[in-house]
Every structure is written in C-alpha cells, then in structure tokens.
Amino acid sequence: MANYLNFTKAIFNPYNPKVLNEGQFSWMTYDTDVQIGSDPQNTIDVYMYDNEGNQWYEKEYAGYGEFGNLDYYELLAKMNGFTAEDLIKKYKGKEMRDIGIDLAFKKLKTKDKGRKVLFPALVEDPKFNWKRHDFTQEAESDPNQSWYQEPEYDDYDDEDYEHGWYESIKTNEGVMSNIHLLADASKDFEDFKKKFKKDYKKVFQNTPDFMDWLYNMYKDMAPLKAGEKVEEELTWDSLKESLGLNEGRSINKISKEHAATVVEMSNTVKEWKEAEGDRKAELLEKLRALNAQKAALEKELDDAVAGKDRNVQLALEEAEELAYLEIDIKNILEVNGQEK
C-alpha cells in the first residue's frame, strides 16, 4: 500500500518534473485565485506577464504550460537571464524550458547574482499593474492540474443538492440574507464576485451561466449607486417576493432559520459593542438587516402555526435569552436613531 501511495502522489503532484513534461498541469491566477482550466467548463482568459511588462494572452489553455504560444518555464528562464547562448555553451542537450523547470525546483540559481528567482505572473486582468507585482512570488499550483471538478455541496442537505444550488438558495433565507449583506458592502460587481467566492468557494464556478446568475443576483440586491434612478424601494419583503421566498415551508425549517438568525444577531451585537469607526457602522447596518429578517421569520412562523394544533408552542416565545437580546438590539437601534 505504501508503494502505491507514493506512486499516486508522484503522478498527481503537479511539481513532479515528469508531470511537467508529459502530463497536464496548471496554476491559480494571482489576482483572482481562479483555476486556469483546460476543460470547457473551466476555461478562462489568462494573461501572462514578465517583469518588463510584456503580456501574452491565452483564451484556450490546453493544460501544458503555454500561454499565447509561449511556454511558462521558457519565459521563467529568460526572466532570470538565461539565453540561447547558454544552451550552446553550458547546457548542451537542454531546452530553455528545462532551464526554467530547474530554476523553479531550485536546481539552478538565477543569473542575477544575489537575487531571488523571478516567476511569470498569471492573471485575469488585462490591465494588471505589473509594476507593483512581486515577481519573486511563484504562481500557486492548481491541485486539480487544470481538470474541471464538479462543485461539492456537502455544506448543504441532500434535498438542496438534488434541487441544485441555484434553486435551493432561494429557499434558504439565512444564505440569502448573507448574500444581501455582501451586495450592500460591495462597491461594484467585481468586488461582490470576490466576496461571494471567498464565502461560497465550494459552489463558485467561473462559467458563463454562473456569472449571469451571480450578476443578476447582485443587480437585484445591490444598493443604488449615485445617479441611478430609484425604481422601487428594496425591502426584505420585496426581496422575498422577487426571489420566490413566500411559499409555505415547514415550521421546523422556519424555526431552524430563526434560531440561526438569533445566534448571528447575538454575535453581531457583541462585535458591535467592541468595534469602532467604519466597522461599527457596517455592523449596525447588518443588525438592521438581521432584525428585519428575524421579524419576517416570526411572521412566517405565526402564519405557519395558524390553524394548527394550538398546543404547539414555539421555543422563541419562551426564550429568555431572546427577550434580553431583543431589548439590547432595540436600544442600539434607538440610540442610533433608525430603528426599523
């Protein structure tokens, strides 16, 4: 078994020279931390930069290290001072790419004595500010070697997985509330996309369909920017209505979401009391949104219980801690003059 594991590790290690010469391999982009894929589902536009600002564009990465018809390791060798003359005089039988691989694996030193090895930058931004980039930073290896991997859904229940994340998210008010807060805190769609990817990395996909869905989500949720026409006030109720959240749900599921919201409110109150400046203002907005969400859930619970066995007593009606929390939040919002 040990021999088998060692063999497997060697074959699927993207830093194995044999893999670099014979198999597919890849990296993550520096600016967006996105996989540079070679399958239809994960292919992206990539720009490779050297330390002099030269750019090579690749829109269909094949998985073998070439960007804009130039090999990554060949460029690495040239960036570190190696030339075709070196191959003739000192490294007979080797190609420039081999020199680059040796540099990457620390088998060779850069010809710029006393300096660190320089590496090409791989990014999605065609206007990347290469002058500020640290070219001694090596591109992060792609653990999936450019191959597409189906997103995992283990953070969600089986029912959500079967219906697909796009649909299940619409019935998960806790997730929807968090995404709403992300949209509020984002300066534009690109900022929102980065925040979304950080919080929901397992479901994020760099595909046209997903990006269309994400952009429409942002457009529905984001606050109006300066100069935009006010069409309709965005409230928690209108948001639920536009996303189809007003369908009947089980008391158990509503109660779970209510409990999760209360926990998040409690944590936010604690953080607000210790925060200062802009962070305190951000947390205040978050509290208002959570307070509105809690009220909506309680109304939904009342409606769900109506007509059923009146002996059903919801835990929230008897929760002493919740009572104190509500008083705390009410005081915070009143002091700040905008209880909603």
| Euclidean distance between CA atoms 289 and 236, whole angstroms | 8
Nearest one of 46, 106, 45 to 76, comparing CA atoms? 106
Please tell me whether residues 52 and 124 are part of one structural domain: yes
Residues 20 and 126 in one domain: yes
Residue ending a domain, choose from 81, 100, 132:
132
Sheet of 121-123: strands edge to edge?
Answer: 55-58, 46-49, 121-123
Q: For residue 4, report the phi and psi dihedrals to the nearest 5 degrees.
A: -65, -45
Tokens of 195: 């925040």
- Number of domains within the chain: 3
DSSP 306-332: TTS-TT---HHHH-HHHHHHHHHHHHH
pLDDT tens digits along 44-89: 999 999 999 999 999 999 999 999 999 999 999 999 999 999 888 8
One domain for residues 223 and 252:
no
Domain that holds residue 163: 153-247
Question: Do 123 and 161 have their domain in common?
Answer: no
Mean pLDDT of the chain: 75
My answer on whether 264 and 239 are in the same domain is: no
The confidence score (pLDDT) of residue 99 equals 93
Considering only residues 126 and 213, tell me which one the structure prediction assigns the higher pLDDT: 126
Residues 165, 249: Cα–Cα separation, whole Å: 18
Map 248-266 to HEC letters: CCCHHHHHHHHHHHHHHHH
- Four-residue CA torsion sign, 167, 173, 179, 184: positive
The reply to whether 187 and 92 lie within a common domain is no
Q: pLDDT band for position 2 (50/70/90)? A: very low
Is residue 118 within 8 Å of 135, Cβ to Cβ? yes
Same domain, 322 and 229: no
Distance of CA 77 to the CA centre of its chain: 33
d(CA 180, CA 59): 33
How many angstroms separate the CA atoms of 189 and 216, rounded?
10
Q: Which two tokens stand for residue 166?
A: 């796009």
Average pLDDT over residues 168-195: 76
Task: Confirm whether 5 is domain-assigned.
Answer: no
Angle at 142 between CA 130 and CA 131, to 5 degrees: 5
Statement to judge: residues 265 and 277 lie in one domain: yes
